[in-house]
Chains A and B, each alone.
Chain A
Amino acid sequence: MPDLALPFFDFLLPALVALGVLLFAWRRREGPASEGPDRGAPRTTSGTASSARALGAVAFGAALLAAWWSVFGEFAVPSASRVLAAKDWIPWSIVAAIATAGLARFERARRIVPSGGAPLVLSLLVLLAMRTRISAGGSGILHALLVFLVAMATWTALELSSERLRGPLPSLVLALAAAGSAVALALSGDTALGRLCGSLSAVSVASAFVARQRRVFTLSGGPVAIVSVVLIGSWTSTWISQTTPLSSIVLLWAAVAVPSAAGIGPLSTWPATRREIARVALTLALALAGVWIAFQARPGTHGY
């Protein structure tokens, strides 16, 4: 009998956690009696509420922290006797993203940490994950700057597309792209981070279900920051460790960023169905190309 513990704790449990919190955050609330033709009808009051978006960050964050624990079995704490690897900063960045998304509910805090604090969190992630290269100076600083720009481009594309495009398909596109990263990283021998990206894919499927139930649902303003942290952290780590080929990582990044940007750019004038089909096709093509390169460069059976 196959061991079901891994798929349960890696994928199903995080997805259920996200589903529960998202359904709670975006629940239909009975608003005050409406006037006019909608009088007495249930009214969604949380659609634009910042609290729902902050809870979205909690949903994605808690789910992925649970997945992290399932995969790595610890939250490594930096100390005199522990130097953290690039990937070890991912859970702390998730916690920071949850905190800043919560702070963004308050007007005064929004002035200090604009855009929900996501740029701040991403810059911290890049600085901490690449500190060894940065301290080496020269090209290391350039690399870090480049990674930060890639991180910002990813977050911006996801944030804008999530804000403008509604329904379950944006989440499913993200699930597809994350699944591509999961397979490519696992094939390259970065199995642990591959599992984490798989968890992100499962959580995205759960959010697609919520988006289908609640048409006002959006990934922007919280969940997108968590998604960016996980993907950028995983890609950066596997790049620093020289596990996954760089060309594969670039294609996996493109599978996330390009369809999102296209959805709010050249494809924005297309009918919704046609646009989303094009986005799915674009994501699939880029992710498969990234997986194919990782497959070609895979280290055999690892000798196991």
Chain B
Amino acid sequence: MVVRAPSRHRLLPVMHLPRHFLVTGLVASLGVALAFVGPSPAPEQAKAADLVVDAVHSHVGFRIKHLNASWAHGRFDALAGTIHWDPAAPEKSTVELTFDVGSVDTNSPDRDKHLRGSDFFDAEQFPKATFKSTKIAKKGTALAVTGDFTLHGVTKSVTADVEHVGTADSPMGGEVTGFSAHLALKRSDFGMKSVLDLIGDEVTLVVDVECGKK
């Protein structure tokens, strides 16, 4: 009895397809698989965009010396702003930020009330603090953002060190971009000279913002 070997075509039915079909199919499958599990393809050159600050994922904090012995911390809760961000040419970017000084929170309601009074922020007369950039320059991997900072009715030119933290796709949709800024200033320069012997003059502002496209 002669046993015929099973047809090659019966074992691998696809083998009867032309060879170029097989190659194309494999490459396409690999591409699809990589798209799901592999590294992202190289991003195309990011474009400039108008961003708006997401207050829920942003924070304005400050620290100041207390009795020249320790650092006291506080924050402002109401922040808003817009950023024109050009990743390819950051120096062409612009920033405008505003926060309500009346929203100051130092974890002590009594102290916050005093800070809102005329000894410090005078929040009734000067409810907003604003920053508007005038010049942005590269500083190593970071940026030096110079702008007009208005606080307590006084406008002064200041320079903040800003880091572009990153850009990511949000699971909620859209792309988000984050920045972190450090700004050192003297409160006496802004007409707040009360109890300089108890509360320090130098204040460090830390501004962390997350922005989405408008």
Q: Does B175 contact A (CB under 8 A)?
A: no
Residue pair A304, B111 in contact (C-beta under 8 Å): yes
In the complex, are the beta carbons of B119 and A192 less than 8 A apart? yes
Instruction: Among A73, A190, A193, A304, point to the contact of B193 (Cβ < 8 A).
Output: A73
Cα separation A127 to B204 with both chains bound (whole Å): 36
Are A74 and B191 neighbours in the complex by a CB distance under 8 Å? yes
Is the beta-carbon distance between A240 and B154 smaller than 8 angstroms? no
The answer to whether the Cβ of B194 comes within 8 Å of any Cβ in the partner chain is yes
Q: What CA separation (Å) do A84 and B191 show in the bound complex?
A: 9
Residues of chain B in range 150-182 having any CB-CB distance to chain A below 8 Å: 152-156
B contact residues around A74 at 8 Å (CB): 191, 193
* Docked CA distance A72–B122 (Å): 14
CA distance A243 to B119 in the complex (A): 10
**Complex Cα spacing A190 to B199, Å:** 16
CA distance A243 to B110 in the complex (A): 12
CB < 8 Å neighbour of B118 from A73, A83, A237, A302: A237
Determine the distance from Cα of A86 to Cα of B117 in the docked complex, in whole angstroms. 12
Interface of A is mostly: loop
Q: Is A82 a contact of B153 with CB atoms below 8 Å?
A: yes
Complex interface bits, B76-116 against A, C-beta within 8 A gives 1, otherwise 0: 00000000000000000000000000000010101101100
A190 adjacent to B111 (CB under 8 Å): no
Enumerate chain B residues within 8 angstroms of A302, measured Cβ to Cβ.
Answer: 110-111, 114
Of A76, A189, A191, the residue contacting B113 (CB under 8 A) is A189
> Are the C-beta atoms of A193 and B118 separated by less than 8 Å?
yes
Q: In the complex the two chains form, is B108's CB within 8 Å of A303's CB?
A: yes
Q: What class of interface size applies to chain B in its complex with A?
A: 20 to 34
Question: Chain A residues near B152 (CB, 8 Å)?
Answer: 85
- Quick check: is A7 within 8 A (CB to CB) of the other chain? no
A83-B117 in contact given A241-B122, A301-B110 (Cβ < 8 Å): no
Q: Give the residue name and chain of the A residue nearest to B195 (CB).
A: A191
- Are the C-beta atoms of A238 and B118 separated by less than 8 Å? yes
| Residues of chain B with a CB closer than 8 A to A242's CB | 117, 124
Whether A192 contacts B194 by the Cβ 8 Å rule is yes
- How far, in angstroms, from A240 to B126 measured CA to CA in the complex? 11
Q: How far is the CB of B21 from chain A (nearest CB, A)?
A: 74
The smallest beta-carbon distance between A151 and chain B, in angstroms, is: 19
Known: A83-B126, A303-B111. A190 touches B117 (CB 8 A): yes
Q: Does residue B142 face the partner (Cβ distance < 8 Å to A)? A: no
State whether the Cβ of A87 lies closer than 8 Å to any Cβ in chain B. Answer: yes
Interface size on A, residues (CB 8 A): 32
Given A74-B191, A83-B126, A299 and B153 contact (CB-CB distance below 8 Å): no
B125 in complex: contacting residue of A81, A132, A189, A191, CB < 8 Å: A132
Find chain A residues with CB under 8 A from B194 CB.
191-192
Asked whether any CB of chain A lies closer than 8 Å to the CB of B198, the reply is yes
Determine the residue in chain B with the shortest Cβ distance to A243.
B117
A85 with B110: CB separation less than 8 A: no
Interface centre among A88, A238, A240, A243 (most CB of B within 10 A): A243
Does A20 reach chain B (CB closer than 8 Å)? no
Residues of the A chain whose Cβ atoms lie less than 8 Å from the Cβ of B155: 80-82
Complex: A74 Cα to B190 Cα, angstroms:
11
**Which chain A positions have C-beta within 8 A of B188?**
73
Report B41 CB to chain A, min CB distance, Å: 50
Say whether A31 faces chain B, with CB atoms less than 8 Å apart. no
A189 touches B124 (CB 8 A): no
Complex: how many Å from CA A132 to CA B49? 36
Within 8 A of A (CB), among B129-167: 152-156
Cβ–Cβ contact B191 & A76, under 8 A: yes
A302-B110, A302-B111 known; A189 vs B126 contact (CB < 8 Å): no
Bound-complex Cα distance A287 to B212 (A): 56
A183 to B193, CA, bound (A): 20
A87–chain B nearest beta-carbon distance, Å: 6
Of the residues B117, B154, B198, contact of A304 by C-beta under 8 Å: B198
A32 contacts B by Cβ under 8 Å: no
26 contacts across the A-B interface (CB closer than 8 A): A72-B193, A80-B155, A81-B154, A82-B153, A82-B155, A85-B126, A85-B153, A188-B117, A189-B113, A189-B117, A190-B118, A191-B195, A192-B194, A193-B118, A238-B118, A240-B124, A241-B123, A241-B125, A243-B117, A299-B114, A300-B110, A302-B111, A302-B114, A303-B111, A303-B114, A304-B195
Question: Apart from A85-B122, A86-B118, A191-B119, what 12 extra A-B contacts exist at CB < 8 Å?
Answer: A72-B193, A73-B193, A80-B155, A132-B125, A190-B118, A192-B119, A241-B118, A243-B118, A300-B110, A303-B111, A304-B198, A304-B199
